[in-house]
Structure formats: C-alpha cells, structure tokens
C-alpha cells in the first residue's frame, strides 16, 4: 500500500520512553470505560473477569466508531498470546470471533484502516490467531469455526503488505498442520499453493525493495518500523529485524507448502521445475538457522514417486543436494537422504547415478551423523545395489571407476583385513607412519606431485581400522591438491577425512582446507559453514580463556557472509533494475554497514555453534577495506601467509 509509506499518516502507538508501559499509557482512560480490557484484567473475581472479557471482545467486534484502545488492547493480547499460547480462557470467551471481525474491517474498509492507529490492527489480530493455533488442535478447530480462514487468505493475497502476509502464512500453516483442520484450509488449495509458492520465491525481493533497500528512513513505512523494533531502534536494528522477518516469511511459506506435500497434494504445482530450482537457494540464512528451508521441502517431495521423478530431471537441484551432502551444514543428512531415496527408486536410479556417485563415494566411511548410525554402510549398499548389472548401464568411465574403488575399499579390502592379526595391523601402522613422514618431507622440499604419490601409497597400505591415520593422510593429500589448485580433489579428500574423524566433521585442518577449496569453486555457503566449524574446533581444543581466532579464518567468514547475505540477490536485482533509486552513493559507508550486519549475523551463528567465547576476538580483527594504505595491506598479506604456513607445517 503506497499510501501507507507516507510519514505522518499515523502516530506511533509505541512510546519511546522506556519507563512507560501499555498500562501506564491508558491509565487515565481505564476508569471511564466500563468495558476497558486492562481494568477487567485486574478484576480479582474470576467470574466477573470472564464476563467482562466476553463483553469486551463482543464490543470490539461490533463497535463501528473508532476506539483508540483497540490497538492498545490488541498489543496486550499479542503479548499474552505469545507468552501463554495454550491458555484456553480467551478461546472460550470468543477471541477468535473478535479477531475475525477486526480482520474483515481491515481488509474491506480502507478508510477505516488508514484512520488513526487502525493500520496496526490486522497484523496483531492475525498474529494472535497464529499464536493460539500453534500447539492445540482444539484451538485450531474453534478458530476455523469462527471463520478465520477467509480474512487470512485476504492478507495472504497481499491486500495490505508483506508484514501482514508474514503473520497470515504463519497462522494458515498452523491450521494446515492438523488433520482435523487441514481440509478447511485445503478448500482454497490451488490458489493458496500458488500464492505461497510465489511468496516463497519473491518475498526477499519484496522486503528488500520496499523496506531494506530504502535508505532514507523518512521514506520507509512508519508502521512497519514500529512493528519491527517496537518503536525504539534505528536503521540498523530495523534492517536486522526486517532480515529476520523476511527469512521467517519464506520459511513459514515453505512450512505451509510442506503440509500439502506431506499429503501428496498439489505436487503438480509444487514440482514446477523453476520452483524446484528456487528451493535450492532458499537457505534461510544465518538469521533462521532452525528451519531446513528449501531442502526440507525437497526431502518431502523425494518421499513421493512423482516428486522423485521431477527432482531427478533437474541437474541443478541434484548438484545442490550433492554439495549439501558433502558439507558441514546442519541439514547435511537431508541432502544424503534425498540422494539415497533417488538411488533406491529403480525409475530414477539411472537418471541420477552418474551425478551423485561422484559425491556419495566420499561418504562411504561415514559412521554416524547425528542420530543416524551406520550411514556409510547404507550409502555403500545403495551405491553397490546392482553393481555387476550397473556396469552395462553406466557409460561414464569415471563413475565406473569410482564404483570399482568403492567395491575394493568396502568389500574386497574388508575380506582381506578380516583375518588380519593385531600384530600385523601394528606392523602396517608403523609402515604407514614411515611413508607419511617421507611424504611430508618431500612436500616441504616442494615436490607436491611426488608427495601425492606417497600419500596414495600410504592409504593403500593403511588398514581400514586405522581411522585416525587415514584421516591425517586424506587431509594432507587435500593440502597438496589445494596447492595444485585442484579444488574438486581437495574437497573429496577433506570430506573423506571428516567422515573418518570422531565425531564426524570435527577435524579442524580438513575443515579449513575444504573451506578454502569451496571458496575456489565459488560455493560461499559451504565455505562459510566449514569455516565456522573450523573456528569451533579451534575454540574447543584450546585451554585459554581468551581464544585467539586465526586472522585468515576471520577474513574468510567476513567474505562468505557478505556473499551469502539473505538479500544479496535482491540487492543485485534492485541495483540493476532501478539505477535512479537512491540506495547509497558512498561505497565505504555501504561496506561498513554490511560489515556491521555480518557481525550481527555471525553473533547468532556463533551462539548456535557454541563458540560465542571466541566471537569478540573475531570482531576485533581488522578488515582490509577500500582506502587503507599499501603498508597495512602488505602487513595483512604477510599475516595471512604466515598463518597458512603454520597450518600446513603441522601436517
């Protein structure tokens, strides 16, 4: 609504002076209004309070004149619903009927909506519905009977703005998640699915162009600013909250689509090839790391034959799943699950096997991942499901060679080593260490190719049971491939080392080496996650209270966080499509703003990865930005080179 973007159209309901509360703001009015919500809430007698609340909700539903307390009451109800979503009292007193009435007013009467504080009402009303239907199916049923779905659909259609769409799709997602209320939502199935798919694909562009990209705070929607920051906070806080809300809008849209995909409904719409590709880019970002976002929906689709058929036909989707399966992302197991489901289906197996084999073979020595045990064995069995017959159906020689190596490693070698005595294993251990030392020596003499040959020999000699030794050998060989500028080989060996590490994905040097290799290939998200896990390994192994984060790791994180910023694609489109739009004329100011946002996002991710203790050190590390003189840049270059050498020297 363009008319809502004009400053001064409304007065903020939020008091910017901290000591004031909502009750303080209406204290003078409470005694003059017999239906005052805040007075009724203080009533000590239960029956009188319940009777008063029921009357209050009815009055709010039918009064046609403007009442400034409506917004204050809804703000109070929002707080209560968020804090006590399972409390049945308001549900039994008609709160859903009240919210429906207010939503209908907001969506049908534009003049009423734009008067005074009424613009805030639809947001609060939809949020209250979503909170009370979040956990209990009984509440959801009462909400449906009260008629909440039609006005929520109006908000989802974009009748007001993206802020109201966010709370509408949240509430509809809760209603669609229950068997007893799903069909009521499904009455709008085709329209709802199309709207939600479009919202998931375009919401980041929408939030950026209508809010985050608007650098002049006088041109931003005032009521959006107030809702985002509760009336206090500047441009930086508004941007940070807008990013969080945009991510939630996308993730809740995907959650609603999941409700249909789980029941194999509207798969012909959801499996649109363009949308499947879009899903691969829906990461959720660091601000919403608790949601599996796009890959979560892709995995749901892989459980159905129709979904597998469509996913197997998209090379881009398959490659994204493959990269995820070899990452340290929390959703790594989802990528593996999808690939295994595609391989186990005889109708899709030979459509995908030539792509996914070259990735999954690096995971065959994986013992466990989260609560999944013997995952490597499952991968091996799936890859070798019809090994002898597959030789005649696979034309790619590299894939055939990879399957042959997997057969040798996991079948033939296991047979040979099964009868190997403890003494023989120890002899092999000594021999392997000798070869490794020779390879290290050759490496430092500068003959990297010869070092690779010697690491190959050591790996061929090393028994499968010596997982620690094999971890080091793979990791060292990965370092050689890095120096030869072969990122694919470095990723393969680093991944194998990380699968052998205990726990999985915990070998620090391999994480850093793979992060560098992913950076070479331009895979920013994978590089970022590995770098964060590398820092985690540094902080958990040190005994110092103040952890020193390597400078080169801080630089890598800064680089990749900028590349994976939630709005990076939207910003690129926005800049290209509207050159006259006032974004920022000062590149240095823009860089500083991005750096600050990256630090804030990193704070959240560090809390997730349990490395907040080292965060202050990272933030204090200097960054090379435009305008620094050559001496500073040269000192930074030397620090990076020294740090790299220290890492390599410990091979």
- pLDDT for 97 beyond 70: yes
**Predicted local confidence at residue 314, as pLDDT:** 96
Spatial CA neighbour of 199 closest among 290, 275, 124: 275
Question: Percent of the chain having pLDDT more than 90?
Answer: 66
350: tokens are 């030979």
Instruction: Report the chain's mean pLDDT, rounded to a whole number.
Output: 84
pLDDT in the model for residue 624: 31
Q: What is the mean pLDDT of residues 586-597?
A: 44
The reply to whether omega before 503 is within 30° of 0 (cis) is yes
Which of 25-29, 112-116, 447-451 has the highest mean predicted lDDT (pLDDT)? 447-451
Cα–Cα distance between 269 and 249 in angstroms, integer?
20
> Does residue 587 surpass a pLDDT of 80?
no
pLDDT recorded at residue 636: 46
* 117-124: average pLDDT: 94
The 10s digit of each residue's pLDDT in 253-272 is 999 999 999 999 999 999 99
Lowest-confidence range among 308-312, 463-467, 496-500, 608-612?
A: 608-612
- pLDDT tier for residue 577 given thresholds of 50, 70 and 90: low
**Rounded CA separation 351/616 (Å):** 49
Helix (H) or strand (E) holding 317: helix 315-325
Phi, psi of 373 (to 5 degrees): -105, 155
Give the pLDDT mean for 324-353: 95
Quick one: pLDDT band at residue 538, thresholds 50, 70, 90?
A: confident
Predicted local confidence at residue 602, as pLDDT: 47
Q: What is the pLDDT of residue 342?
A: 98
Lowest mean pLDDT among 201-205, 246-250, 550-554, 594-598: 594-598
pLDDT number for residue 2: 39
Give alpha helix (H) positions in 484-625.
Answer: 487-500, 508-521, 524-541, 551-563, 568-577, 587-608, 615-620
Across 458-463, average pLDDT: 95
Instruction: Quickly count: other Cβ atoms within 10 Å of residue 488's Cβ.
Output: 11
CB–CB of 571/590 below 8 Å? no
233 has a pLDDT exceeding 70: yes
User: What is the phi/psi pair of residue 78, to 5°?
Assistant: -60, -45
Would you say residue 511 has pLDDT above 90? Answer: yes
Is the Cβ–Cβ distance between 262 and 186 less than 8 Å?
no
* Residue pair 509/647 in contact by the 8 Å Cβ criterion: yes
Model pLDDT, residue 611: 40
**Model pLDDT for residues 156-177, shown as the tens digit of each residue:** 999 999 999 999 999 999 999 9
Mean local confidence (pLDDT), 174-189 = 97
Domains of the chain as residue ranges with CATH: 33-259 (1.25.10), 423-462+466-568 (1.25.40.10)
- Given a cut of 60, whether residue 620 has pLDDT beyond it is no
Segment among 375-379, 573-577, 592-596 with least mean pLDDT: 592-596
So what's the pLDDT on residue 544?
63
Q: Is the pLDDT of residue 83 over 50?
A: yes
DSSP 501: S
pLDDT in tens, 187-206: 999 999 999 999 999 999 99
What's the whole-model pTM score?
0.84
Percent of residues, the chain, with pLDDT higher than 70: 81
Q: Which tokens go with 397?
A: 């020689």
Distance CA 403, CA 389 (A): 12
- Alpha carbon 349 to its chain centroid, in Å, reads 29
């Amino acid at each position: 609504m363009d008319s809502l973007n004009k400053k001064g159209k409304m007065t903020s309901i939020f008091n910017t002076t901290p000591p004031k509360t909502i009750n303080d703001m209406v204290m003078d009015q409470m005694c003059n209004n017999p239906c005052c919500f805040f007075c009724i809430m203080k009533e000590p007698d239960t029956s009188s309070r319940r009777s008063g609340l029921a009357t209050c909700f009815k009055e709010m539903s039918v009064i046609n004149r403007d009442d400034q307390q409506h917004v204050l009451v809804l703000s109070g109800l929002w707080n209560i619903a968020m804090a006590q979503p399972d409390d049945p009292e308001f549900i039994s007193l008609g709160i859903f009927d009240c919210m429906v009435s207010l939503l209908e007013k907001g969506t049908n009467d534009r003049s009423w909506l734009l008067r005074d504080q009424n613009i805030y009402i639809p947001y609060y009303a939809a949020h209250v519905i979503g909170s009370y239907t979040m956990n209990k199916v009984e509440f959801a049923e009462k909400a449906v009977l009260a008629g909440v779905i039609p006005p929520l659909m109006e908000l989802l259609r974009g009748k007001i703005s993206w802020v109201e769409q966010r709370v509408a799709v949240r509430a509809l997602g809760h209603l669609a998640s229950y068997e007893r209320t799903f069909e009521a939502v499904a009455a709008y199935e085709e329209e709802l699915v199309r709207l939600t798919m479009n919202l998931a694909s375009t919401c980041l562009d929408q939030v950026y162009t209508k809010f985050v990209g608007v650098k002049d705070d006088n041109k931003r929607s005032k009521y959006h600013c107030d809702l985002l920051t509760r009336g206090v906070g500047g441009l930086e806080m508004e941007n940070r909250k807008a990013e969080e809300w945009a991510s939630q809008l996308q993730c809740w849209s995907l959650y609603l689509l999941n409700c249909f995909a789980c029941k194999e409904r509207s798969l012909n719409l959801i499996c649109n090839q363009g949308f499947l590709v879009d899903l691969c880019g829906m990461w959720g970002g660091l601000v919403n790391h608790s949601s599996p976002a796009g890959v979560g929906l892709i995995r749901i689709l892989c459980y159905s034959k129709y979904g597998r058929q469509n996913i197997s036909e998209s090379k881009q989707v398959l490659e994204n799943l493959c990269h995820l399966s070899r990452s340290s992302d929390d959703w790594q197991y989802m990528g593996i699950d999808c690939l295994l489901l595609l391989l186990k289906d005889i109708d899709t197996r030979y459509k995908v096997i030539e792509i996914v084999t070259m990735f999954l073979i690096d995971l065959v020595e994986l013992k466990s991942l989260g609560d999944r045990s013997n995952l490597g064995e499952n991968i091996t069995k799936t890859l070798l499901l019809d090994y002898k017959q597959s030789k005649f159906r696979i034309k790619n020689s590299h894939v055939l060679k990879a399957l042959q190596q997997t057969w040798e490693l996991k079948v033939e070698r296991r047979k040979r080593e099964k009868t190997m005595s403890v003494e023989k294993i120890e002899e092999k251990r000594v021999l392997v260490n000798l070869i490794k030392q020779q390879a290290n020596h050759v490496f430092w003499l500068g003959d990297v190719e010869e070092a690779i040959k010697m690491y190959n020999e050591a790996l061929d000699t090393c028994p499968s049971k010596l997982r620690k030794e094999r971890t080091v050998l793979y990791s060292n060989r990965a370092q050689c491939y890095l120096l030869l500028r072969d990122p694919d080989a470095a990723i393969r060996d680093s991944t194998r080392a990380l699968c052998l590490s205990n726990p999985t994905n915990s070998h620090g040097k391999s994480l850093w080496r793979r992060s560098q290799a992913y950076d070479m290939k331009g895979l920013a998200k994978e590089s970022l996650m590995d770098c964060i896990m590398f820092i985690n390994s540094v902080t958990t192994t040190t005994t110092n209270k103040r952890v020193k984060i390597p400078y080169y790791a801080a630089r890598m994180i800064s680089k990749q966080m900028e590349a994976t910023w939630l709005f990076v694609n939207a910003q690129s489109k926005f800049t290209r499509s509207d050159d006259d739009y006032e974004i920022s004329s000062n590149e240095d100011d823009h860089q500083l703003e991005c750096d600050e946002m990256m630090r804030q996002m990193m704070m959240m991710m560090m809390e997730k990865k349990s490395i907040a203790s080292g965060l202050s050190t990272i933030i204090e590390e200097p960054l090379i930005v435009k305008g620094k003189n050559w001496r500073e840049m040269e000192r930074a270059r030397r620090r990076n080179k020294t740090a790299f050498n220290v890492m390599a020297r410990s091979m």
